[in-house]
Amino acid sequence: MKGGGLRLYAMLYLLFLYAPILLLPVFAFNNATVIAFPLKGFTTEWFSQMVGNAALRKALTNSLVIAVSASILATCLGVFAARASTRFSFPGKGPAMGLIMLPLVLPEIIVAMSLLVVLLAVGVQLSVFTVIIGHTLICMPYAVAILSTAFSSLDKSLEEAAHDLGETKFSAFRLVILPLVMPGIISALLMCFTISLDEFIIAFFLAGNEPTLPTYIFSQLRFPKSIPVIMALGTILVLMSILLLATAEYFRRRGVARTGTQDTGGFL
């Protein structure tokens, strides 16, 4: 076999990455409170407990509200930033774009702490809203990265052609640019949604008394009897993530096919 050692290494590496995730559904359906082999039998008890859990439902609702709001906000702002950066040149463009992309490399705990200090100093009550602000901040770089690619692949004369053919600047954008970057917008929305949904540090610092899904899960790890429910929840989340990523990739590829451009590779 060609490259035997390297192939074995790659396999072990992938196993190490994904085996723990594969264990989630296994124990989610296991009829025992202890997470250990041998398995005791099949049950859907943990899933029904999960559905009946009011605190969990509250955390889920909070997380969904935050993820939907933050992804829409980050994507809308991202559209402005990406268009400005790809279409126009203006003084201070480099530094402005750098600052927008900075949260990508800034330790999240720094972002969370400084936001907390500022929000408290200004006197803003910690709530779901403050988490939305934090998540929008950290989602922006991802949205801008995806949308910049979408905008920069567009021929500048497309917009001019629409303008030349009688449309106003705004209707030219709506009729030509928006449909062409729509796959990018959908990808950005889904990307931001997944990032926000499992974000822990900012949610932990800025949520006040409001639990989100990750902070709720963390708080439940202290109680051994609720761990199987967490396993069930984890199973659902893994399925949802795969679904979201697949949808995002579907739209990206459709966008590529539609405009007949070269596929430069996505994230799947």
The least distance separating other proteins from the CB of residue 169, rounded to whole angstroms, comes to: 8
Q: Does 165 bind other proteins (CB under 8 A)?
A: yes
Interface residues for other proteins in 221-260 (CB under 8 A)? Answer: 258-260
**DSSP state string for 209-259:** T---HHHHHHHHTT-GGGHHHHHHHHHHHHHHHHHHHHHHHHHHHHHHHHH
* Buried b or exposed e, range 109-120, using 16+ CB within 10 angstroms: eebbeebbeebe
Q: Which of 21, 37, 120, 164 binds other proteins (CB under 8 A)?
A: 164
Which residue type sits at 223? F
The least distance separating other proteins from the CB of residue 258, rounded to whole angstroms, comes to: 6
Q: Does 149 bind other proteins (CB under 8 A)?
A: no
**How distant is the alpha carbon of residue 29 from its chain centre?**
27
Q: Does 155 bind other proteins (CB under 8 A)?
A: yes
Nearer to other proteins, 83 or 135 (CB): 83
The least distance separating other proteins from the CB of residue 97, rounded to whole angstroms, comes to: 21
Axis-axis angle for helices 227-259, 4-28 (nearest 10): 120
Q: Does 91 bind other proteins (CB under 8 A)?
A: no
Largest CA distance in the chain: 72
Q: Which of 163, 249, 250, 253 binds other proteins (CB under 8 A)?
A: 163
Site of interaction with other proteins (CB under 8 A): 155, 157-158, 160-168, 172, 175-176, 179-180, 258-261
